Structure 1
Amino acid sequence: MSTASLTGRALTKGLSWVLVGNVLYMLSAALLTLVLPRIISVADYGLWQLYQLYVMYFGYVTFGYTDGVYLRLGGRRYADMPGPRLSAGLIRLLLADLAAWIGLVVWVWAVSPEPQRGLILVLAGVGAVFYVSRTLVTVILQIAGRARAFALGTVVERLVTFVGVGGALLVGAREVIVFIIFDVLGKLIGLVVAVLIARGVFLSPPDFSWEATREFFADCGAGMFVLVSNLAAALITFVVRWAVESHWGLEMFAQVSLAFQFTTMFMVLVNSVSISVYPQLSNLDRTHYAGAYATLRARFVTPLVLMLGLYFPLAWVLRAWLPRYGQAIFFLALLFPLSVYETKSRGLSVVFLKVLRRERLMAVINVACLGLAVVGTWWTVYTWGSVTAAVFLIAVVSAVRSIASEVLINRLIGVPILADTLTELLVCAVFLAVVALGGPPVTLLAVYATLGVYGYVHRDSLRLPRRLHRNRH
């Protein structure tokens, strides 16, 4: 067979369109994040964040199917997608989520929580039904290299939500339920648009044969470890936020959630980037994984470490714009290093572990870190009684999870990590120490000097190698 080469540019093929769609998503989310807390009360903003929290975790009700399809079809061309079986899979997934939503409605009716919260739960379930179904469509578009189409579906969904919520605010509406309804509507329209974009696959005559049914359950089984792993990672933040809400109430929950909202926007971007990169890695010879890992690490992690310097001007602007959220801005500083470690975990380590088919090891790491978060939350919230310690716990657990994943990657493909890991820990430690001191001018100079030295030392890592060679057998 002939030999071929895979350049750094090819490794991230289609990445620009993924970035466009997700940057627009981030901008719309940022505008809502910045505008809503200024206009509505802290308690109402807490309800809005409670809805967002429910939707995010209900979004994991995929039964492993989406992740299984992602693993099985990664690297396949759009024309080679099994349309009839994917069409039937989408219908099965939609029906399964509708059944789960009906179960949620029955539970809400039986338990009878506070009416407004019960309605938020039910609406979050509806939104999750549309969101989970659209995830299958967007995953197919991304792994097939249709990044522009994926970006369009994402933009449409966010545009509907942004215009709807913005219009409601302009006419004087301040009810959180109104905002939530527009968000659900955006997810519905996003699903419809995504299916129409991928109509060549998902509007094919569905195949409900016994063989297709067995394949559906096989995909669910194959993706279950990825689902457990992703859910465990997501539950790390859920445990802390739920404990804060139950112990300190809705207003403190709003403060913590606003800080998480900013970091979540980065995590959505990183997750989409990792999905886009996976097909390229699937077609790469294993002997060149170490080089690919170094390339991707240089492109994503080093700039994010340098972005820690943005916190201090950002905090100054946010304090002027959102004076009622001083605690949230402080919590954001504790979570800022989270973006560095989550980038390595979601954008790099998780992708390589999936390519290497080490989903079980990935799940073990995440479940162990979830256990650490549960124990730490109990101690920081219910024993110590410190919300600051509870939030800081998330950054610590995230760093532990990231470093553990990278150690595993090092053992599997032999990529060196010690020097980079230690320098990143040092930079984050200096940053957090300055935040703890209140950020006086002299210490700010220490942060920027440290970042300057880090950038100089890692200047070569920002220059991507021109070519990574790949062998075909």
Structure 2
Amino acid sequence: MSKKSLSKSLIYLISANIMSVMISGVILLIFPKIFSIAEFGMWQFYMLLNMYFSYAAFGLADGVYVRYSEKQNFDKLKYIGFHFWLIMILDIFLIIGLILNTDISKVKIMMLASISCILVAPKSIIVYHLQSMGKTTETSMYIIIEKLLFVFLLSIIYMTNISVTISNIIYADLLSKLVTIVCLVIKNPKNFTFKFNNNFDLFKEIIENFKTGIPLVLIGTSTLFIIGIFRFAIEKKWGIESFSKASIMINFSSFLMIFISSISLIFFPLLRNININSISYRYNKISKIVFFLMLLVLLIYYPIYMLVQYLLPNYSDGLIFLPILLIITILDGKIIILNTNLLKVLRKEKKIFIYNVYLILLTISIYLIILYFISEVFYVFILMMIVILIKYLLLEYEVRKILGYQKILVNIFFDEFLYIILILSLMYFTDSIINSLTLFVFVICIYSLINKGVIRDLKYFKDNR
């Protein structure tokens, strides 16, 4: 790919992501003012189901993306069409099972989310395939078309006599997804057809793509799954209004995670290009830099706090959860940027996968505990933070053990957790938001002075490539 093509692809990709975040942000500010807390909760429940259903390709799309982008597997691209229809059939069976076991009050939302699943999950395999072929500009255009069409349909609903209801907004979302997949079919018809043969090659390919893709999906989405399970627990025990107040704060932190994920794309090649023998020496410095960046991200707490207080007063009860969510963002941000990337560089993906499986099983166990023993939503967020903290400690311990560090847990505690404890104290126990902000900036300045040599070393990473 030429530099010009690469630049064009990056511009489209960044534009598509910025547009998605901006539209989601505007919705997060406008919808709570239009709808009641319960109605907005149903929209967020629909979006939560959408998030889970977007991974209902069962790892096949990720397996195809990784395996078929390799030159030696180009001849297997003929199987793309079969994978598309297989995912759609599997999703239909999954959806029927879910609807039959859904509470009657949520059947309509579940059915609408299920339609979205049928439109989104199979499409992912075609989008991944196009990306593996270097057609990032084309896939970004589909995202832009879908988002612009959704905004256009919302405008029509608002300006005409059509009633502004959650159902009509979901219909607009589904129509924009349908138009996108129709455009994909028209533009790439060969990817939706296949010739069935009687040998076992096709079935071997499906099994190989499952084996490759499922661990990748779990590695990339484990935190979303963990937080999602806690959100379902809140909705199940405390109802849609508590779910709505909790979810709006989770969505604010999710925007930060999108930004952090984009940073991780920069750090992976940086880590990969460092000489393997110098990683141990460099790791501690990079770790401090990443943590410093995460501290800066925490400053977003203050504008969010004031925004919710003045624009969304009905949701101000949820602000008590925000500091915990931002600490989760710090921990998971470091996991995404540094721990996961470094373990991939060291070819330890299996370790990441095993830890994530254990943590998801732990979260499911905690889900049952919440339903029967937890009396306040606040404690659910504490448990959520503890699970992400365990994940962070496991991966950080694994990395430092591989790199030969001594007194690992002591180092982790003094490197970061003293600051995290201080931050939580500032956010919860300071008598005013101005005092809290002043002290918070002071902590960042002290951290910068203590670690100024480390932060200055950022420009020297290229020396050990």
TM-score range (shorter-chain normalised) is 0.7 to 0.9
Name the residue aligned to 2:52.
Answer: 57
Task: Give, as a single letter, the amino acid of the residue that structure 2 aligns with 1:454.
Answer: Y
1:356–1:86: structure 2 CA closer, same or farther, 3 Å change rule? farther
1:249 to 234, 239, 260: 239
Name the residue aligned to 2:330.
Answer: 340
Q: Does residue 132 in structure 1 map to residue 124 in structure 2?
A: no
1:408–1:104: structure 2 CA closer, same or farther, 3 Å change rule? same
Name the residue aligned to 2:445.
Answer: 452
Distance 2:43 2:115 in 1: 15
1:271–1:162: structure 2 CA closer, same or farther, 3 Å change rule? farther
Within 5 A, what are the aligned runs for 1:196-211? 199=188, 203=191, 206=194, 210-211=200-201
Within 5 A, what are the aligned runs for 1:37-56? 37-56=32-51
Task: Give, as a single letter, the amino acid of the residue that structure 2 aligns with 1:461.
Answer: I
SS at match of 1:177: helix
Name the residue aligned to 2:256.
Answer: 266
2:401 to 405, 411, 426: 411
1:328 to 318, 325, 334: 318
Task: Give, as a single letter, the amino acid of the residue that structure 2 aligns with 1:366.
Answer: N
1:67 to 62, 66, 78: 62
Distance 2:252 2:113 in 1: 20
Which of 51-60 and 278-287 deviates more?
Answer: 278-287
Q: Does residue 461 in structure 1 map to residue 455 in structure 2?
A: yes
SS at match of 2:363: helix
How far did 1:249 drift? 0.9
Q: Does residue 33 in structure 1 map to residue 28 in structure 2?
A: yes
Distance 2:173 2:150 in 1: 5
Distance 2:435 2:203 in 1: 65
Name the residue aligned to 2:417.
Answer: 425
How far did 1:261 drift? 1.1
1:312–1:64: structure 2 CA closer, same or farther, 3 Å change rule? same
Distance 1:71 1:411 in 2: 29
1:102-129 Cα offsets, whole Å, 9 max, x none, are 32453366447325x2121122122223
TM-score calculated relative to the size of structure 1: 0.80
Residues 231 and 243, structure 2, Cα contact 8 Å, conserved in 1: yes
Within 5 A, what are the aligned runs for 1:314-325? 314-325=304-315
Q: Quick check: which one's helix share is greater?
A: 2
How far did 1:407 drift? 2.1
Q: 5+ residue gaps in structure 2?
A: 1-6
Distance 2:375 2:293 in 1: 36
Residues 65 and 220, structure 1, Cα contact 8 Å, conserved in 2: yes
1:224–1:445: structure 2 CA closer, same or farther, 3 Å change rule? same
Distance 2:147 2:286 in 1: 28
1:100–1:321: structure 2 CA closer, same or farther, 3 Å change rule? same
Distance 2:426 2:295 in 1: 16
Name the residue aligned to 1:3.
Answer: none
Within 5 A, what are the aligned runs for 1:146-295? 147-171=136-160, 173-191=163-181, 199=188, 203=191, 206=194, 210-230=200-220, 232-271=222-261, 274=264, 286-287=276-277
1:15-73 Cα offsets, whole Å, 9 max, x none, are 77644432221111111111111111111111111111111112222222233234436
How far did 1:357 drift? 4.3
Q: 5+ residue gaps in structure 1?
A: 1-11
Residues 333 and 435, structure 1, Cα contact 8 Å, conserved in 2: yes
Within 5 A, what are the aligned runs for 1:73-112? 80=71, 85-86=76-77, 88-89=79-80, 91-107=81-97, 110-111=100-101
Residues 376 and 390, structure 1, Cα contact 8 Å, conserved in 2: no
Distance 1:447 1:56 in 2: 34
Which of 303-312 and 282-291 deviates more?
Answer: 282-291
Residues 232 and 366, structure 1, Cα contact 8 Å, conserved in 2: yes
1:269–1:444: structure 2 CA closer, same or farther, 3 Å change rule? closer
How far did 1:142 drift? 5.2
Distance 2:191 2:142 in 1: 16
Distance 1:192 1:456 in 2: 56
Task: Give, as a single letter, the amino acid of the residue that structure 2 aligns with 1:65.
Answer: L
Residues 82 and 194, structure 2, Cα contact 8 Å, conserved in 1: no
Distance 2:387 2:66 in 1: 27
Structure with larger RCO (C-alpha < 8 A, sep 6+): 1
How far did 1:176 drift? 1.1
1:120–1:81: structure 2 CA closer, same or farther, 3 Å change rule? farther
Q: Does residue 434 in structure 1 map to residue 426 in structure 2?
A: yes
Q: Does residue 390 in structure 1 map to residue 385 in structure 2?
A: no
Name the residue aligned to 2:4.
Answer: none
- Give the paired residue count: 451
How far did 1:140 drift? 4.6
Distance 2:60 2:233 in 1: 31
1:14–1:334: structure 2 CA closer, same or farther, 3 Å change rule? farther
1:36–1:206: structure 2 CA closer, same or farther, 3 Å change rule? same
TM-score calculated relative to the size of structure 2: 0.81
Distance 1:205 1:84 in 2: 15
Task: Give, as a single letter, the amino acid of the residue that structure 2 aligns with 1:432.
Answer: L
1:305-353 Cα offsets, whole Å, 9 max, x none, are 2121221232112211101001223222220122222222234333444
CA RMSD, 1 decimal: 3.8
Residues 56 and 91, structure 2, Cα contact 8 Å, conserved in 1: no
